[in-house]
Amino acid sequence: MVSEHEAQSAEAGVLVASNRGPVSYTLRTDGTLDATRGGGGLVSGLSAVEDKLWVCAALGDGDRAAVRRGVGEPGVRMLDIDPAVHTDAYNGIANSVLWFVHHMLYQTPLEPVFDPEFRRQWASFETYNRAFAEALAEEAGRGAAVLVQDYHLALVPGMLRELRPDLRIGHFSHTPWAPVDYFRLLPDDIAEQLLRGILGADRACFLTRRWADAFTACCTEFLGGTGRTGIGVHGLGADADFLRRRAHEADVDERMAALREQIGPGRRTIVRVDRTELSKNIVRGLLAYRTLLDERPEWRERVVHVAFAYPSRQDLAVYRDYTAEVRQVADAINEAYGTPGWTPVVLHVKDDFARSLAAYRLADVALVNPIRDGMNLVAKEVPVVSDHGCALVLSREAGAYEELGDDAVVVNPYDVSATARALHEALTMADGERAERTRRLAAAAVALPPQQWFLDQLAALRD
């Protein structure tokens, strides 16, 4: 490890800002720190860039201890933002307001309620964003390129523009963008502030044309247009080389053997891999599977739904309740239909990437039915690593639908009966057709791999 001063690059030429960084620290019982490196598209993309700096938030006690001890990783600056401010900004605003707006998750007879407590949390959100803007302004070299990531940091481009008008600033939204009528749920001044914050960037970028058009429509409605900000679309793809290599390592083979034993010989598999996030629509997926077993009894004892629902945001009560509902519905299906030799739903709630890859390889059908999703990389990853071809049942509300819809069995995520029929269609798809569709899905899925996705944005920003 190196000191924080040594970890930072003086006047970096390329900067990335995100809530979560590429490294996290855990405090051991003896007081020492253990560093864990992350992965993903940004990490891969930045590996091809020299003279770079990643600015992120300290997310836990280990991260904060690292910052205070002057411990860091080369090319990373971690911000020790007051934990109460971070909680307000991250849980109170980003994940309980902005996420809910863009994924259209509110039960509107009861929520949202924009009261004095909301305004107090919004002030923390401004403070949190300002900390990032000030750090970026301090670290960026003259004319540097700054790529700000996601809804957590929607105010940063505007704040940074005031501090450093010389910079090239991009903002990327990894979520959907709400249509005008839903975005108008927000208080008018907050809606304007969010839009103006992103329009502080030279380029505002999105995963699909649909989300970009929704943002433009909101800007037109509230501000009369997007001003001088360019709008870009960059559809993040799967990292084929990494996935195919990782999917054939020994631990994945071990997980495949264990799953095969749980599934039983000769049975078909419907696989889903998700966080227990409200937008992922896991409960309706289970209900569709139950409808399949009810209306198509010939599938009983011949198919198993392998459902990986990894806990997410369990510090929020609504997510804990949703996780409990997923378990309850899965248990009810097993109780109603299970036999001594057949468990209809194999549910796993402990995150295990090797087991997810094993399920990808085994899947006859992949169920990806989100209510709304910026992209959904699971839909792209499954066909890339599938051993024998996999039929994809895909929500038309996933961003991946724009690229994969032609070769998927497409569903309305709210229509449980239609999703049950789609599962039957996918299960009965001829082997040749399934293999050919999988080939085309995989080709579309890797069209813009993570490194190229990042470099394309950087090149467009510098142009």
What's the pLDDT score for residue 124?
98
Q: Which residues of the chain have pLDDT under 50?
A: 1-9
E strand intervals along 266-421: 268-275, 303-310, 345-348, 365-368, 391-395, 409-411
What's the pLDDT score for residue 422?
98
What's the pLDDT score for residue 10?
58
What's the pLDDT score for residue 37?
82
Nearest-angstrom CA–CA distance, 383 and 404:
11
Q: What is the pTM of this model?
A: 0.93
Per 3-state DSSP, what percentage of the chain is helix, strand, and coil (rounded to 5)? 50, 20, 30
Structure-derived torsion over alpha carbons of residues 126, 127, 132, 138, reported in degrees to the nearest 10? 120
What's the pLDDT score for residue 41?
66
Phi-psi region of 232 (alpha: psi -120 to 50; beta: other; left: phi over 0): beta
Q: State the burial class of residue 288 (Cβ atoms within 10 Å of its Cβ: 0-12, 13-18, 19+).
A: buried
What's the pLDDT score for residue 318?
81
Name the 3-class secondary structure at 140.
Answer: strand
- Which residue do the tokens 């994924």 mark? 103
User: What would the two tokens of residue 13 be?
Assistant: 């030429």
What's the pLDDT score for residue 164?
98
